[in-house]
Copies of this chain bind each other. A is one copy, B any other.
Amino acid sequence: MSELSIGVQPTGVGGRALSSRGLRTRRRLLEAAERVFAELGYHDASIVKITEAAGVGQGTFYLYFDGKKRIFDELVLDLNARVRRAMTEASSKGSTRAERELLGFGAFFRFTAEHPALYRIVRQAEFVSPAILQLHYERLTEGYVAGLRQAMAAGEVAQGDPEVLAWSLMGIGELVGMRWILWGGGTEMPERVFDELARILVRTIGARDLDP
């Protein structure tokens, strides 16, 4: 992970500064990689296919990334940042913890429907880049734990270790999302399922009440 350009201006290999043209090409490669990895998986995704999808020559790839693993890592972190942003934004609109929770889940499901790559790529990471996978989940928990701890202090949710609860909630989101979004035809989650899930979540966090 020594040279991942996250949060800073992207560079080429060796830290070469990029012009706007270079920046555009780099982004094109990243977007093509998201499509190709999501469709074919890490193994079958080749540099050739990624460059073809991006509409650039093979050699161009190596002006921006060290290799296949490097672009993959960056993709995971990119998706991670995007899904967290979507969830945080949505949940900030709620007034009780339970409400915030449900809004966050809704955002997660919407993101998943729009970017099935999140699942497919994250699962690949188990082997391609275990450290990145861990980072992905840990970053997701971080915000979660903070919010839950606060809600516990306020007596809004059941007392307990917020970390165990946070991972439990993530697990629920992951499998329910997989079952009804990823396998459900790639569209939205049926309202019936979401309503049922809402009842389950409220119980799981031990919320005092859904409304303030």
For residue A21, CB closer than 8 A to chain B, the reply is no
Binds B, one of A25-33, A91-99, A191-199: A191-199
A127 at the interface (CB under 8 A from B): yes
A172 touching B168 in the complex, CB below 8 Å, given contacts A43-B43, A203-B158, A203-B203? yes
List the number of copies, as a whole number.
2
Contacts of A167 in B (CB 8 A): 172, 175-176, 179
Interface: A46 (CB within 8 A): no
**Cα distance A165–B203 when bound, in Å?**
11
User: Is A160 among interface residues, defined by CB-CB distance under 8 A?
Assistant: yes
Is A200 a contact of B204 with CB atoms below 8 Å?
Answer: yes
- If A165-B200, A203-B204, A206-B203 touch, whether A42 touches B127 (CB-CB below 8 Å) is yes
Interface residues on A, range: 35 or more
Residues 91-135 of A, flagged 1 when their CB comes within 8 A of B and 0 if not, give: 000000000000000000000000000011001101110000010
Cβ contacts under 8 Å, A172 to chain B: 167-168, 171-172
Contact residues in B for A43 (Cβ distance below 8 Å): 42-43, 127-128
Report the bound CA distance from A173 to B167 in whole Å: 10
Instruction: State whether A123 touches B120 (Cβ < 8 A).
Output: no
Interchain CA distance A170-B124 in the complex, whole Å: 20
Is there an interface contact between B193 and A164, defined as CB atoms closer than 8 Å?
yes
A111 shortest CB reach to chain B, Å: 17
